[in-house]
């Protein structure tokens, strides 16, 4: 098994994007990149911890590659907005890839350049690509949020569901549940 750590807005969105992929064994919502140990959600929302909301993905590289995870990263959020995704604003919502080794670092840089070269986004990419320095799990009430709450929450209904639906329609072969 290998791990990847990505941030691109609310961790509930990224958790929902990655948790049903074939080859992904676990997705944990949490915080990374800051200077406060074991931060709480409220502390991260205060914008004073330096942390980003991220997901830690544990995956089987025989079933899904880091490159494929990166492709979904670039497609599942807007990497051109600084410290913001949609209505979520603040440095905790920044676009970031925390690499765990030099291979991940090189692939992150390579895919970022490809996205820039193909001009997939009309504005410059602001995604940070940094070495992992820490990861802290969010509390249990933030884990598996979309699957637990789903249609009971308007954020899930209007933000997460369309995002996941679009990716499943474009890449049905990647998802365990292809509907």
**Known catalytic residue at 156:** no
Q: How far is CA 5 from CA 87, 124, 178, in A?
A: 22, 22, 24
**Are residues 97 and 73 in contact, defined by beta-carbon separation less than 8 angstroms?**
yes
d(CA 40, CA 30): 10
Question: Cα separation of 39 and 101, whole Å?
Answer: 25
Q: Give the angle subtended at the CA of 30 by the CAs of 24 and 36, to the nearest 5°.
A: 150
| Rounded Cα distance, 29 and 140, in Å | 9
Only one residue has tokens 């765990």, namely: 100
134 token code pair:
């820490």
* Residue among 10, 13, 45, 156 flagged as catalytic: 10
Closest CA to 73 of 131, 123, 39, 121: 121
Active site residues: 10
């Amino acid at each position: 098994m290998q791990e990847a750590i990505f941030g691109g807005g609310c961790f509930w969105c990224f958790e929902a994007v990655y948790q049903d992929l074939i080859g992904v064994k676990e997705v944990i919502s949490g915080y990374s990149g800051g200077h406060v140990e074991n931060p709480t959600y409220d502390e991260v929302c205060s914008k004073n911890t330096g942390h980003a909301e991220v997901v830690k993905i544990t995956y089987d590289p025989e079933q899904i590659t880091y490159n494929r995870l990166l492709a979904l990263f670039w497609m599942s959020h807007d990497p051109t907005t600084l410290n913001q995704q949609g209505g979520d604003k603040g440095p905790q919502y920044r676009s970031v890839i925390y690499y765990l080794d030099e291979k991940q670092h090189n692939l992150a840089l390579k895919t970022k350049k490809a996205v820039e070269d193909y001009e997939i986004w009309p504005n410059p990419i602001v995604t940070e690509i940094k070495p992992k320095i820490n990861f802290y799990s969010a509390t249990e009430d933030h884990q598996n949020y979309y699957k637990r709450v789903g249609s009971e929450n308007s954020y899930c209904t209007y933000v997460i569901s369309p995002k996941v639906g679009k990716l499943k329609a474009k890449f049905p072969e990647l998802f365990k549940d292809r509907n």
